[in-house]
Structure 1
Amino acid sequence: MKKYLYALLLVFTAVTGFYFFYSWSLLPPGERFIYQIDDPYIHMAIAKNFALNGVWSINSGGFDSASSSILYTLLLTSLIKLFGIWEFYPLVINVICGYLAIYTVYRYFKDFYGAAELKWAIALLLPFSLLYAMVLISMEHTVHMFLMVLAIYFIHKNVESNFQTKDFIKLLTVVFFVSIVRFESMFFTASLAFAMFLRKDFAKGILVMVAGFSAIVIFGIISEIHGGYFFPNSVMIKGSLPSGNNIVENVVTLVKKGIFLNTSFYKCLFFPFVILIVYLTGKYRSKKINLFFKNETLMITIVSMSIIHSLFAFLKYRYENYVMISVLMVVIPVISAFFKRFNEEKRKLNIANVVMLFSLVMMTVFSLYRFQFMHKPSMVSSKNIYEQQVEMSRFLGKYYRGQKVAANDIGAISYYSGVQLFDIVGLGSTQVAKFKMENKKLPRKVFDEKYRNFLINYTAKNNFVIAVIYPEWFPGKTPASWLPVASWKIQDNKAAAIDRVVFYALETEQVKPLQQNLMKFDLNKNVEQWFYVLK
């Protein structure tokens, strides 16, 4: 069986290594590796400030909960405390967790299934879950995926042992760590507790909830004590809870947007779910429901988690991949069992078999589509981030260190530049997050106008000197008092939110210094700089 482990490791290493070295090769000779999105630098900025200054913020003072992961930020903080500041801790953590995920996948299928399942894992794991891409962006998602695979292993083991104490304690330990790696893990905790309740193991279900929610509750209380929200700003702002007061309408809206009108649901989950439905219908058609609840705890947990995630969170932009690897772990044994039975039946084509075959083909097609979709970004994203976010941070660090700057893509700026940063989107600035939450029920036009005035007044009152933003992200038209001085535009963009950023002077006396600083700055030759003619 070891040959399948070697094959998994080889495929993972080859694919991850190819994109790592190719993307690095596009940077200037001698340049360090740059992460493929801007967000890892947010985690590192918070971890650095927490380690050095004791503040949970992208700035060196205050409390702004911009991190979506308690565990990941604490891991980075610990490494900084132990070994000093180094920008490649996220990459090291992700590489280690990537290999741990591969090994745990192998152990799962080796210990509970066999060679056939391992062959399917070799074929489908990377394109279906995009594990290699998660390693390269170096966020907490790889840690999340590893912990989910580990949780699946121990759920299966507990079902086999009927939740013996020693196995259940191991599962609770994993549940605790899963809960603090990302806040979407609440969906997993709730789903596992639900599956335990269906088994009528109410005490164990409650213990699962305690293990999965206790750390989140403690963090939420600490956050509120320091003036923040119970959940991080990113969760509050990006969450998809309906804003209406009618409960029935809200439920209908959630289901409609999260499932029926959600194209990502069909790409990611629809056909795996069809495979599971056909399998379960055939297996439990004439059996009691209690037997299903007892035997299929793992499947109930993962399917419930996936549905809740689809209703309340994104099934794209990388946020779905802990769901994808979990679903794959559940689906592969079903596929393997189907083909074994299909061959025994001499490939009889009844309706159920045709549906299974078609669903498997479509699942494979969408896996290849996901792999192809990530191909170009995995090659050029480091170059994009280097030419936009890292260059902005280098400019601001050179000419505006310690000064007040407004921005809306905050990662590299917050980690490298040393400015006092105001995030107009609100992920890194609680003042903006609070404004958005307090006014989210307003009609769109009214909200945008009020939001615009809030940003104008806040930056003026607090003496911000310049802004570096995507004008398209500013609510409504940028104010006349914000004087555009220059823009930077990158080419072949796949990673930055928008390919053009604009530098604004927020006071008239800042126009000339900003112009002169931009002219003196040794800007990357691949970035197109354009100066505005001011009247």
Structure 2
Amino acid sequence: MKRNLFFLLTLLLFTLCIIVSIGNVVSFAGRYIYPLDDAYIHLSIAKNFALHHVWGITKYEFSSTTSSPFFTLLLAGFIKFFGNYEYWPIVLNLIAAFFLIVCVNNIFKTLSNRAYLLCLNLVIWCMPLFTMVLIGMEHVFHTLFLLLSLFYFKKYSEDHLSKNFALLLLFAVLSVGFRYESLFFIFFICAYLFFVEKKFQKSILLGVASLLPVIIYGIISIQNGSYFLPNSLILKGNTSDGGISGFVIRVLGNGYRGLSLLPLVVFLMIFIFKNKRSGLLDFLKSNNLQIVILLGFTLHLLFANFGWLVRYEAYLFVLLVYVLKDFIEEILNSGKQFLKFAFILLLALPVYLRTWTMFEKQTLASKNIFDQQIQMADFLKKYYNQSKVVANDIGAIAYFTDIRLLDTYGLGTIEIAKIRKNDHGEFNIENPKLRNFVYQYSKNNNYDIALVFDNWLHMPDNFQKTGEWTIKDNYICGGPKVSFYSIKPDEKNNLIKNLKEFRVSMPKDVEVKISDN
């Protein structure tokens, strides 16, 4: 009875946290604004696919801009049948969050009350689930389906029932479709089934089925002139291109940004060591889930990302709590008070870095997006709704307008992605090849204006700078300052006039500079 009451109170507190967080943003923006511009990228592609049958950041051409095809498809379905509503990501994430809470509640139900309370709270508040809902991205769905994949892998390894393998297969495909990082874990599950369990056919079937979302999306992308992998993975992923030193530096950066996971990773390694067996086969069987998660975590550390509102590694935190639930039970029930104290003390790191920091920063991030991306979108909607625009932060401006877009970062423009593919998210602002491409492309295709971060790429010399917007207390945007350029010589005076007129309606704490020269 007490446990059920606590579960209901936890749901109530979680709901209250969501309402308060949304209210904080509405208080300054008049509506809810996502704290990441990437949410609007999903919405833009979903809108164009649902309404114009074009899988692209704009309705004019294909672009492989999303790294979560299933989430974008899900949004497109709701837009198609229920209307173009910018808050579908929150609605869907709340539904997924409810099922995730129910799922972990059932998983933790065998624990003692103290362990149950701690594990449930860690998942909800240190993931943190409220942030993953409010950023409007795919991470809640990804976490839910990958957790269920691992849960049914464990059950199948214990009872070898066909229904549990079928559920493993289903959730593995879904988890990969929502984020490709799931393949890190599916790979080791397949290896375990093949080499340890000798389930050769099931191992191959699981591997092939899990790859289908990647293969199908990759074939469609190649047919449309893009890469096999989404542009975001090509441009942001950590590969060996660029040399061993660059690879190591990026891994160390990942480790630093993923510091909040360190206590749980250490606990997992201790737990595996404690469960050592005399024979290798017995060791692998008794620690199969722990080893799969540890090795999957390692691949994420090496080849994926950490950070940006702690979203990339949020699912890893949940998986670590899941696999450590029995270890947590053992520590809390231990008679060694020092051990319990040390354990709780170490948990202060994720509580501070993941829970407290996100309470503080996610509203600030929404304020940044409102002051910068939403203002750019409103400006373009009013004056340049169907114009040709050069930009390098593209979500909101693509979703709220009908512009034609040249993306100098490369997420929405494959030609630029091919130029920048070895940059790994770094910026060579004097890149002569890229500057020349932007110059030739904008000239040949009669582009009108540019709204860009100058610290990402210096614009060609023929672009005429006419103004700047600078936001305060930047936390999440690519830069505090956005520069406006006239590309057509005869557009400069008109752009200046529009900037002056729009300045009146902008947030008062955005610094506006306009050139009259």
Q: Under a length normalisation based on structure 1, what TM-score does the superposition of the two structures give? A: 0.89
For 1:197, the equivalent position in structure 2 comes to 194
For 2:89, the equivalent position in structure 1 comes to 90
Distance 1:260 1:232 in 2: 23
For 1:166, the equivalent position in structure 2 comes to 163
What pairs with 1:14-53 in structure 2 (closer than 5 Å)?
A: 14-27=16-29, 31-53=30-52
Deviation per residue, 1:412-440 (Å, 9 max, x gap): 10011211111110001111112223x76
Code of the residue aligned with 1:206 in structure 2: it is I
Aligned with 1:473: secondary structure?
coil
For 1:505, the equivalent position in structure 2 comes to 486
What pairs with 1:232-311 in structure 2 (closer than 5 Å)?
A: 232-243=230-241, 250=244, 254=247, 257-258=250-251, 262-265=255-258, 267-284=259-276, 286-311=277-302
The alpha-carbon distance between structure 1 residues 5 and 154, as it changes in their structure 2 partners (threshold 3 A), is: farther
What pairs with 1:340-489 in structure 2 (closer than 5 Å)?
A: 340=333, 342-343=334-335, 347=336, 358=342, 361-437=345-421, 448-474=431-457, 477-489=458-470
Distance 2:191 2:423 in 1: 32
The alpha-carbon distance between structure 1 residues 174 and 444, as it changes in their structure 2 partners (threshold 3 A), is: closer
The alpha-carbon distance between structure 1 residues 17 and 136, as it changes in their structure 2 partners (threshold 3 A), is: same
The 10-residue stretch of structure 1 (13-22 or 480-489) with the greater mean CA deviation from structure 2: 13-22
Residue 528, structure 1, aligned to residue 511, structure 2: yes
The alpha-carbon distance between structure 1 residues 55 and 95, as it changes in their structure 2 partners (threshold 3 A), is: same
Deviation per residue, 1:504-529 (Å, 9 max, x gap): 00122111010111122243132221
Contact 2:104 2:120 in 1 (8 A): no
Return the offset for 1:357.
5.9
Contact 2:69 2:178 in 1 (8 A): yes
Distance 2:266 2:387 in 1: 56
Contact 1:489 1:500 in 2 (8 A): yes
Contact 1:42 1:412 in 2 (8 A): yes
Distance 1:34 1:458 in 2: 33
Aligned with 1:262: secondary structure?
helix
Contact 1:196 1:297 in 2 (8 A): no
Deviation per residue, 1:226-265 (Å, 9 max, x gap): 1111011111111110215xxxx74x86466425983134
Distance 1:155 1:113 in 2: 20
Distance 1:153 1:264 in 2: 28
What pairs with 1:126-205 in structure 2 (closer than 5 Å)?
A: 126-161=124-159, 163-200=160-197, 201-205=199-203
2:316 to 298, 312, 323: 323
For 1:230, the equivalent position in structure 2 comes to 228
Contact 2:108 2:325 in 1 (8 A): no
Distance 1:472 1:396 in 2: 22
Distance 2:427 2:71 in 1: 35
Contact 1:34 1:386 in 2 (8 A): yes
Aligned with 2:393: secondary structure?
coil
The 10-residue stretch of structure 1 (461-470 or 15-24) with the greater mean CA deviation from structure 2: 15-24
The alpha-carbon distance between structure 1 residues 109 and 22, as it changes in their structure 2 partners (threshold 3 A), is: same
Code of the residue aligned with 1:204 in structure 2: it is K
For 2:71, the equivalent position in structure 1 comes to 72
For 2:5, the equivalent position in structure 1 comes to 3
Code of the residue aligned with 2:420 in structure 1: it is K
Deviation per residue, 1:312-340 (Å, 9 max, x gap): 01121211111121112112321212332
For 1:216, the equivalent position in structure 2 comes to 214
- Corresponding residue pairs, total: 509
Contact 1:259 1:311 in 2 (8 A): no
Contact 1:98 1:142 in 2 (8 A): yes
Distance 2:427 2:175 in 1: 36
Code of the residue aligned with 2:282 in structure 1: it is L
The alpha-carbon distance between structure 1 residues 254 and 292, as it changes in their structure 2 partners (threshold 3 A), is: farther
Distance 2:254 2:369 in 1: 32
Distance 1:415 1:298 in 2: 41
Distance 2:174 2:427 in 1: 39
Where in structure 2 are there 5+ consecutive unaligned residues?
Answer: none
Contact 1:127 1:371 in 2 (8 A): yes
Q: Once the two structures are aligned, what percentage of the paired residues are identical? A: 32
The 10-residue stretch of structure 1 (57-66 or 490-499) with the greater mean CA deviation from structure 2: 490-499
For 2:495, the equivalent position in structure 1 comes to 514
Contact 2:254 2:301 in 1 (8 A): no
Where in structure 1 are there 5+ consecutive unaligned residues?
Answer: none
The alpha-carbon distance between structure 1 residues 234 and 82, as it changes in their structure 2 partners (threshold 3 A), is: same
The 10-residue stretch of structure 1 (286-295 or 98-107) with the greater mean CA deviation from structure 2: 286-295
Code of the residue aligned with 2:124 in structure 1: it is L
The alpha-carbon distance between structure 1 residues 23 and 260, as it changes in their structure 2 partners (threshold 3 A), is: closer
Distance 2:54 2:38 in 1: 19
The alpha-carbon distance between structure 1 residues 125 and 511, as it changes in their structure 2 partners (threshold 3 A), is: same
Return the offset for 1:446.
11
Aligned with 1:417: secondary structure?
coil
Distance 1:256 1:489 in 2: 31
Code of the residue aligned with 1:331 in structure 2: it is L
Residue 12, structure 1, aligned to residue 11, structure 2: no
Contact 2:275 2:283 in 1 (8 A): no
Aligned with 2:482: secondary structure?
strand
Aligned with 1:524: secondary structure?
coil
Deviation per residue, 1:256-275 (Å, 9 max, x gap): 6425983134x133322221
